[in-house]
A and B are shown apart, each in its own frame.
Chain A
Amino acid sequence: MLKYLIPLILFIVMAVFLAIGLNLKPNEIPSPLLNKPSPAFAAPKLQAPNEKLATADLKGQVWLFNVWASWCVSCREEHPVLNEFAKQKAVTIIGLNYKDDPAAAKTWLDTLGNPYNVSIMDQDGRIGLDWGVYGVPETFVMDKKGIVRYKHTGPVMPDDVQNVFLPLIAQLQAEAP
């Protein structure tokens, strides 16, 4: 009896581990920025390069930081979702135009719509590096104190907006500044 049981148990254990392995997402690396003050930046605006936007300007409001680029394929998938999200005016959405050509980025916003309150430029990827960006698109949520409260890697989908972003934003908006 035991002779047959042991291989069976071994098989089941291996199958369980392999099944877990298949469902892991090694691309989603937990961000060490969570629950820490967001990295500071002061960067030129995409649509007004003479003006700068700094993290200090966003103190006191809940804001979303979405890393995007016109060369990024998943961003195209994400874009209509962000447009819908922006219509709800639940939160300030700041875009980080990451390692992109400003002209191509502007064309992108003109043709596909602009969900961002402001997009800032990061042509050499230094701001991205400070935020631990490794795969575009990425989306961060900051509370009124400027603490990073959530990070989403990959395109934001309608389900994520409904089930994750909107409830979290409602909770953060209710917090004292």
Chain B
Amino acid sequence: MKPGILMLLLLLSPFAADAIDSRQFANPEQQEAYETLTSELRCLVCQNQTIADSNAELAADLRRQVQEMLEQGKSREEIVRFMTDRYGDFVLYKPPFKLKTGLLWLGPIVFLLLGLVAVFFVIRQRQPRSQRDFGIHTLPGDKKRDADVENTQTEKLAKIRRLLDEGDAS
């Protein structure tokens, strides 16, 4: 097979992975609610699949339950509460923000901040020593030190000029 066609097929494959048993509702809103709900509820037997994706018997039972409740005219919230009353928050793919789940939600931000702090220190360490000696570590009001720094700078400048002059001469 030509690589181009293969690539195209691979890219299209997610669209082929449709719900295992798609149900038909008379009302398009219910259809939509069914599809969102089943893709937000976790199959508890095969924990990394939603009940829309899973072929487990429990997932089929939960799908049937969602369908029946929708047909009875139950709201989204009522169905979600029905599920969490029985299976706990774990049944939701997106856990609610609570005291217990705080670490889960805030953890990534904390790690990002820690990373930024680490990056800051690493960059600071990488700066050439001389630059740090001249800039950061010089406390204002330390006259002796200021004078030292100035002396070194003038010395260096003098050396550079001398070298340049020599270069020109040859």
Contacts and interface: CB of A to CB of B under 8 A. Distances in A.
Interface of A: 26-27, 29-33, 39, 99, 124-126, 128-132, 134-135
A35 B65 CA distance: 25
B93 interface: no
Binding site secondary structure of chain B: helix
A32 B82 CA distance: 11
Contacts of A31: 88
A84 B87 CA distance: 30
A171 B62 CA distance: 36
Contact of A132 (B47, B57, B86): B86
Interface residues of B, number: 14
A129 B61 contact: yes
A33 B86 contact: yes
Nearest to B48: A26
Nearest to B57: A99
A29 B86 contact: no
Contacts of B47: 26-27
The 3 closest A-B pairs by CB, nearest first: A134-B44, A132-B86, A32-B88
B65 A32 contact: no
B57 A29 contact: no
Interface string B5-27: 00000000000000000000000
Most buried by B among A32, A39, A130: A32
